[in-house]
Amino acid sequence: MRRRTFLQSAALPALARAAVTDPQYKIHTPFPDKPGAGMPGRYPGTVVRVSSDKVLDEQSERVDRAIAGQMLNKGMCTLTGAKDPRDAWSSFISPSDVVGIKVNCSGSPNILSNPELVGEIVGNLVSIGLKPSQICIYERFQDQLTNAHYEKVVPEGVSIIAVEGSRGSIIGYDPKTYVEVSFFGEDDTRSNLVRMVTERFTKIINVPNLKEHQAAGVTGCLKNIAYGNFSNVARSHQREKTNTLSFIGTLASVEPLRSKTVLNVMDGFRCVWHGGPFSTRKQYRFYAKQLMIGTDPVSIDRMLIDVIEETRKKEGASSVWDRSPEQLKGNPATDVKANHFIREPGHIEFAGRLGLGVYDKAKIQLKSVQL
């Protein structure tokens, strides 16, 4: 069995180094690295942003599936240079693949990877020759996935699977593929990778939704693919301290998760600017009405920070980069300058230093399309 050890300080941005204790990560995986496959993918440093004012009605919060599909296909063609959306999808997925679609349902039924968008992704996969039985929509927790009702928007035969049918179940995780680390002296120091990733899927499409996160700073591509594919991850937080800075990128780098994740489609229809990821308060929602598409999760998440920061500034909220202890004294449910944790948006730069993508905005090519 191959073992890799990462020391947090080796890749840690200098700005944050003095403020943290360095966890020591041991990655246990029988799967070899596959250079060139998966993240950051075929288009490192490229982000396609597609916007449409008509994709969502703000009063009802309903998403127009037809427009969402147009946005998706325009984004895919812009990313790949293909004229036909089927050619764009075929450049990533073949008819022989078994595809996992990693959704984010932690805020369902209100804030989630919208069913209309997921339905369009599935429709495109079927159009290039995949059978419904070769497609699986998955999430960690059954209650969150049940509330999303993806079964209403996909063909019969598409699997919709929760890794943990009951909370805490370990059956859905691979005992041979895990990250071992002790953050606070906890008893269980292992986080295991989803078994379907190691045993079933040949490709993964990552579909996060755009929101603020009280521990990580933002929930984006990296957070969804990392914490959404491993067990026992909430242990990284204790009181105001969170280890999301280094844990997210470390998890996302584990094989075969890294090499199988070939595409990121960030859902920015209904979004959260405060109180994430489980926000149920409508006053903390906003409607960016956009998709961000690419193979590079770091570059997309770097753009995500700007969207969240701009919205928080308009709302009079503190920056996600705020590290002052004063913010820990208030109630974030009612105070937009308060928070439970010292947020760690630096996790995105950290992931870039692990080779998962391009963080420097000067090196990111943003292609914006308005429908």
Q: Is the pLDDT score of 138 beyond 90?
A: yes
What sign for the dihedral angle of Cα 307, 52, 127, 160? positive
pLDDT score for 165: 84
pLDDT score for 280: 81
Residue 276: which domain range?
A: 49-173+192-366
Phi and psi, residue 62, nearest 5°:
-80, 140
User: Does residue 185 sit within a domain?
Assistant: no
CB 266 within 8 A of CB 293: yes
Of residues 253 and 107, the one with the higher pLDDT is 253
* Domains in the chain, number: 1
Give the tens place of pLDDT for each residue, 240-297: 999 999 999 999 999 999 999 999 999 999 999 999 888 788 999 999 999 999 999 9
pLDDT score for 21: 57
User: Does residue 144 sit within a domain?
Assistant: yes
CB 367 within 8 A of CB 49: yes
User: Does residue 245 sit within a domain?
Assistant: yes
User: Does residue 244 sit within a domain?
Assistant: yes
Strand, coil or helix: what is 256? Answer: coil
What distance, in Å, lies between the first and last C-alpha atoms of the chain?
50
CATH number of the domain within which 239 lies: 3.40.50
CB 197 within 8 A of CB 100: yes
Residue matched to tokens 């980069």:
321
Mean pLDDT value of segment 34-63 = 96
Indicate the pairing of strand 2-7 with strand 24-29. Answer: antiparallel
pLDDT score for 168: 81
User: Does residue 283 sit within a domain?
Assistant: yes
User: Does residue 134 sit within a domain?
Assistant: yes
CB 285 within 8 A of CB 304: no
Helix 115-127 vs helix 65-80: angle between axes, to the nearest 10 degrees?
A: 60
User: Does residue 29 sit within a domain?
Assistant: no
Helices (H), 81-212: 85-90, 115-127, 142-148, 195-199
Q: Is the pLDDT score of 14 beyond 60?
A: no
Q: What angle do CA 315, 316, 319 make, to 5 degrees?
A: 105
